[in-house]
Amino acid sequence: MYKIIKKRRLNPTVTEMHIEAPLVANKAKPGQFIILRVDESGERIPLTVAGVNKDSGTVKIIYQIVGATTKKLDTKEEGEYIQDFVGPLGVPTHTEGIKKVCIIGGGVGCAIAMPVAEEFHNLGADVTSIIGFRNKDLVILEDEFKSFSDKFVLVTDDGSYGDKGNVTMPLKSMLESGEKFDMIITIGPLIMMKFVTLTAKEYNIPVTVSMNPIMIDGTGMCGGCRLTLIHEGKRVTKFACVDGPDFNGYEVDFDEAMSRGRMYSDFERHAFEETCNLIKKAKENE
C-alpha cells in the first residue's frame, strides 16, 4: 500500500498527488512513468512521473479525471492509501548533447512536459517553453514553467488568457524569425503533436513526441501499447512501455495511433458513468 502524502487541485479536472514510494523516487527520471491500481479490483493505469523528492521518498503524479479509475483515484484524500504503485518504467527522456531545446505542452500533457523542462534547466540548457490550453480555467503549472524557462509563451484557444491561438503558432513564428533548436519536445494530444511535428519538419528540426497509448502491464508483454513507426521506408512495430514513451515524431503514424485511441471510448464512457453512480451511492449511504 502506498500513502497519499499531499493532494492539490490544479484545475476543476486535474489533480496533483504526492505518493510515498521511496524506491521509485530514488530511481525515477524525467520521461518515465508508473503504473498504479487504486484498489485490489481496480484497473492498471499509467501515469507519468511529474517529479520526485528523494529526501521525503515521494513521487508526484498529475492526472486528469477522464475515466473510471481517475474518478475513483480522485476520491482518495491525504493520509489514505492506494493499492499498487509500480515503476519507474519506460526510457528516460534523452538529454545528452542538447543545449537549446523547445518544450511544447498541451493541456494535461504539460504535467509530463514540466519535469522535462526542469531537467534541461538544471543541466544548463537554454529552454523555451510553449504551453497551450483551451481556456483560462484549464491552465496549470504556469509558475513552474516560468521558473524553468529562458523564454515562455502561454496560449489559449479562445484567447481568455495569454496569447490567442494554438501552440504551433508561436513555434512557427519563432522558426520563421530564424530561431534554432537542437530539439523540439512536444507532449499532449496526438493531434497537437502531429501538427507540431509537421511545423518543425519544414525547418528540419528534430522532434521528440511522448506517446501514451492504451497500456496494461507496462513490460511489453501484452502488446496493448503497440505503435507503428515508419523507419527508413518500412513499417515497424514498437511498444510505448519499453521502447518509449519518447519517439521520433517524424516516424510516428499519428493517424493510426489516433484511430486506436478511440477504440474503447464507448466502454470507457460507460465505466466512468458507472463509477460516478457508485461513488454517489456510497456518499448517500455514509
Going by the DSSP 8-state scheme, the letter that residue 141 receives in this structure is -
Going by the DSSP 8-state scheme, the letter that residue 72 receives in this structure is H
Which residue do the cell numbers 523555451 mark?
Answer: 128
Q: Which domain holds residue 135?
A: 95-210
Is the pLDDT confidence value at 57 over 50?
Answer: yes
CA dihedral (216, 53, 82, 14) positive or negative? negative
| Same domain flag for 141 and 200 | yes
| Same domain flag for 99 and 74 | no
Percent of the chain with pLDDT strictly greater than 90:
63
Q: What is the CATH number of the domain that holds 17?
A: 2.40.30.10
Helix (H, G, I), strand (E, B) or coil at 234: strand
Q: What is the mean pLDDT of residues 166-189?
A: 94
Going by the DSSP 8-state scheme, the letter that residue 109 receives in this structure is G
| Same domain flag for 85 and 106 | no
Judge whether 284 lies within some domain. Answer: no
Identify the pLDDT of residue 272.
44
Judge whether 267 lies within some domain. Answer: no
Domain edge (last residue) among 24, 56, 89: 89
Is the pLDDT confidence value at 234 over 70?
Answer: yes
| Same domain flag for 77 and 143 | no
| Same domain flag for 54 and 161 | no
Residue 262 — pLDDT band, cuts 50, 70, 90? low
Helix (H, G, I), strand (E, B) or coil at 99: coil
Write out pLDDT tens, residues 108-124: 899 889 999 999 999 99
The three cell numbers of residue 168 are 504551433
Q: What is the mean pLDDT of residues 168-188?
A: 95
Q: What is the mean pLDDT of residues 231-253?
A: 89
Is the pLDDT confidence value at 82 over 60?
Answer: yes
| Count of structural domains within the chain | 2
Alpha-carbon distance of 34 to 67, in angstroms, equals 17
- If one compares 205 and 270, the residue with the highest pLDDT of the two is 205
Identify the pLDDT of residue 49.
92
Q: What is the CATH number of the domain that holds 167?
A: 3.40.50.80
